[in-house]
Amino acid sequence: MGTHLEPDAGPAAEARDALVRAIVHEGGLGDPAWRAAFEEVPRHVFVPYYFIGRGGTYERMWCLDPDRARRERWLRGAYYDMPLATRVRDGELISSSSQPSLMARMLDELRVEDGNTVLEIGAGTGYNAALLSHRLGEDRVTTVDVEPEITESACRHLAAAGYHPTVVTGDGARGCPERAPFDRIIATCTLPSVPFDWLPQCRPGARILAPLSTGLIALRVSDDGPTRSAEGHFLRTSAYFVPLRGSDAAAEGHIGGLPRRVIENDLFRFLLTLTAGSLDPHEALSLWERERRPQRERFGVTVSGDHQWAWLDDPEGPYAWPLGPARQTAPPA
C-alpha cells in the first residue's frame, strides 16, 4: 500500500499539519508527545477507502480511484476533523475511524506515562494503535477486535506505517489476559456496561477510559485484596461511537409523550440511555428537571464485587442505577 501513497507525501503532510493546527487551536494536543504523534502518524495510510453518507446510501472514496480529482478528495477527506465510516455491512456501520480531535482528547485523558502498557478495545483501522505505539513503543500496545477482517486490515495498515503492536482477534469484553497486566485500558466503541473481566487484568491504580451511554467514563482501578474495584466520573464531553460488537447496547425504552425539545436534548438523551431499564423515561425527565439538567461530569460509575452501578453526585447517594447484569460466577464443581 505504501508505494501508491508516496506521490501524495507532500499534500498529505500539508493536510496533516493543517489538521494538527486546527486541533491545537481548539485547545487539544497540549502534550508535546501526543502532538508529535499526530504530526508524524499518517492517517491516510489507515483509511485507503472510506464511505460518505449520501441520502441514505454511502459513497465510497478510494485512494486508487482512476479519477484524479476523486483521489484528491479522498486525501483531503482523510485529514478532515471528522469520523470516517470504514466498514458498512447491509447498510449498518460496523467500523469507523474516530474524529481526530476526539481521539486527541481521549488520549490526553488516558494520562499515560512512559513505560505504561495499554490495552485498546476496538482496533478499527489501526490508527489509534499507531498513535499509542508512537507515544509508548509498539511492544507496550495491544489492540483487540472481534472481527477478523478488521484486525487483518489494521495489521496491514500498521505495517505500512511502520508500526507492529500486538493485534488480537477476540472478544474485547474479555480483554486480553495473555498480555496482562495493563496500566491503561481505552475503548473506542460504546459499552452497555464495564466488562468485569477487564479489572483483574489491570494493575492497581490503572486507568480505564471508555464510551458509555453518550459520554466518556474515566475509572481508577483499586486493589481490594483478592479482587479489583473501579470508580470514576464521566468527562464533560459527549462521545458517540459504534457499539461494542458481540454485546447488546442498552435500549432507550419507550419515550412517547415526552416533548420533542426534551427528547432531542443531548444531556437528557445521555441520562435516558444511562438509566435504560432502571427508570421510566418520564421518571428520568422528572429527575433531570429536579436536578437542574445535570452535566455529564456529575455522573459516575462504580464497579465493585459482582455489581456495578451508575450514580449522580455520590456513589452512595439516593440516585443510583444498576448497569448491566451482575457478574456470573461459575457454580461449584
By annotation, the residues acting in catalysis are 95
Question: In degrees to the nearest 10, what's the CA dihedral of 35, 37, 38, 43?
Answer: 180
| N-term to C-term CA, the chain | 53
Contact 65/4 with Cβ under 8 angstroms?
no
Q: How far apart are CA 212 and CA 323, in angstroms?
A: 10
Contact 93/85 with Cβ under 8 angstroms?
yes
What's the Cα-to-Cα distance from 293 to each of 86, 127, 233, rounded to whole Å? 35, 36, 17
Which class for 266: exposed (0-12), middle (13-18), buried (19 or more C-beta within 10 A)?
A: exposed
Q: Count the alpha carbons within 13 Å of 93 in the hemisphere toward its beta carbon.
A: 21
Helix (H) or strand (E) holding 183: strand 182-187
Which residues sit opposite 108 in a β-bridge? none
